[in-house]
Structure 1
Amino acid sequence: MSGFSILALQEVGFNWREHLLFRPNELLAKIDEIYSKHGRIKALVLDDASFSLSTYDWHDTFAKAFLKFISVARPVLANIILTTPSPKLLLKKLVSMDAWIIKIVYDTDKEHKHRRTAKGYKNYLLPNGKRIIRLSFEDYFNINSLKEETFREYNEYRYSYVEDGLENLFIELKQKEKTMEDGRTRFIQH
């Protein structure tokens, strides 16, 4: 999905490096910059959005504030693209909005190993409250359309935020170990 986002940004003439962001503070800084200039940006990509807007963090204050912000963002942000390995990892409120869901499907054979299909589904809320999702378009692309330099630069950027995930894991692991140790200590004392 990230490769398709980069190609889409390039197709409309955007520098992907200025419009594709991973860390929430980078996204907010970009939106704040646009807001302070009374401007409007056509598109921003929050890459691997399920890292900061995970369905498991529905109670997180940032996630709640982000959902509220989406309601008022139109004057400064025309489109926000959220990439994720699976929509099920994103906050349910985000996935259930009247929005497009684009799924990247491998469309390969021996001759076209790098061919992909982007299938665009429109999520509709009907007047009776039911939701329907319909296939609206298919876009065929070759992931090798990305320049080698762009691909390398993106991978370096993406690799840099793996560190964020590792830091979170180490913090959680230390807290879990401390909780287990505290439990053992209390058990032994009683």
Structure 2
Amino acid sequence: RIPCFTWDDAGYWLFSLNWTDPLLIAVQKYMNVVGTDINSLMLTTPEPTWILSKIAKMPGTIRIKVIKRDGGGTDNDSRLYSRKAVAYKPWVSPDLKMHGVNKIMEDDFSCKLPDEFYKWYKPTREKYASLAKKEMMAELISRNKKAQEKRDKATKRGRPRKK
């Protein structure tokens, strides 16, 4: 088994509004047996609600909120990159009528990556951003094409074009 698998930007890959996508349905099903292959799964996202709820609310989930620390000058690296991680463990009553979270730990840390790691990781981040932009442009082109076809069809029928 893999001790820990980190899925960075999971909010992009497991986006909750794509819940009908066959791939995401398959991923959700795999999450039922993921423990066979992976001991711990770490998903990162700027907003937890962007991840499919069936995955985000899996039993045993611990949610970690990273908070930017206030105060201090931005000329001081230790304050500029200072963050606090607060971990919460969700709970649900046996009758499933009540639920909540318990804070289980806090940790202060620096979010600044070592230069060597950042140099290795930056191309991966750039690929993610490039892929997202290409997907967005392809969808925009597709929508524009469909709208143009609709306008052309309406014009051929003799209807006035809507602006």
Identity score, percent: 25
* 8 Å CA contact retained: 2:92, 2:100: yes
Tell me the CA shift for residue 108 of structure 1.
3.6
Answering whether residue 148 of structure 2 is matched by residue 181 of structure 1, we say: yes
Q: Tell me, in whole angstroms, the C-alpha distance in 1 between the residues paired with 2:99 and 2:119.
A: 40
Specify the alignment match of 2:102 in structure 1.
Answer: 134
Gaps of 5+ in 2: 158-163
| Equivalent residue for 1:109, pick from 54, 71, 78 | 71
Tell me the CA shift for residue 82 of structure 1.
0.7
Answering whether residue 29 of structure 2 is matched by residue 47 of structure 1, we say: no
Q: Tell me, in whole angstroms, the C-alpha distance in 2 between the residues paired with 1:108 and 1:153.
A: 30
When the two structures are superposed, what TM-score results if normalisation uses the length of structure 1? 0.75
Specify the alignment match of 1:62 in structure 2.
Answer: 23
Specify the alignment match of 2:45 in structure 1.
Answer: 84
User: RMSD across aligned C-alpha pairs, in angstroms?
Assistant: 1.3
Tell me the CA shift for residue 159 of structure 1.
1.0
Specify the alignment match of 1:28 in structure 2.
Answer: none
Q: Tell me, in whole angstroms, the C-alpha distance in 2 between the residues paired with 1:189 and 1:108.
A: 62
Q: Tell me, in whole angstroms, the C-alpha distance in 2 between the residues paired with 1:83 and 1:123.
A: 17
Tell me the CA shift for residue 174 of structure 1.
1.2
Gaps of 5+ in 1: 1-39
Q: Classify the secondary structure of the residue corresponding to 1:128.
A: coil
* 8 Å CA contact retained: 2:14, 2:52: yes
Larger % of strand: which?
A: 2
Large movers: runs of 4+ above 6 Å: none
Q: Classify the secondary structure of the residue corresponding to 1:127.
A: coil
* 8 Å CA contact retained: 2:31, 2:55: no
Q: Which amino acid aligns with 1:106?
A: K
Specify the alignment match of 1:164 in structure 2.
Answer: 131
* 8 Å CA contact retained: 1:124, 1:133: yes
Q: Classify the secondary structure of the residue corresponding to 2:148.
A: helix
**Which entry has the higher C-alpha Rg, 1 or 2?**
2
Encode CA deviations 1:143-163: one digit per residue, 9 max, x unaligned: 23x321112322222112211
Q: Which amino acid aligns with 2:135?
A: N
Specify the alignment match of 1:119 in structure 2.
Answer: 86
Q: Judging changes above 3 Å, is the alpha-carbon distance between structure 1 residues 49 and 176 closer, same or farther for their aligned structure 2 residues?
A: same
Q: Classify the secondary structure of the residue corresponding to 1:97.
A: coil
| Equivalent residue for 1:152, pick from 114, 119, 141 | 119
Tell me the CA shift for residue 77 of structure 1.
0.6
Q: Tell me, in whole angstroms, the C-alpha distance in 2 between the residues paired with 1:113 and 1:166.
A: 29
* 8 Å CA contact retained: 1:55, 1:92: yes
Encode CA deviations 1:9-35: one digit per residue, 9 max, x unaligned: xxxxxxxxxxxxxxxxxxxxxxxxxxx
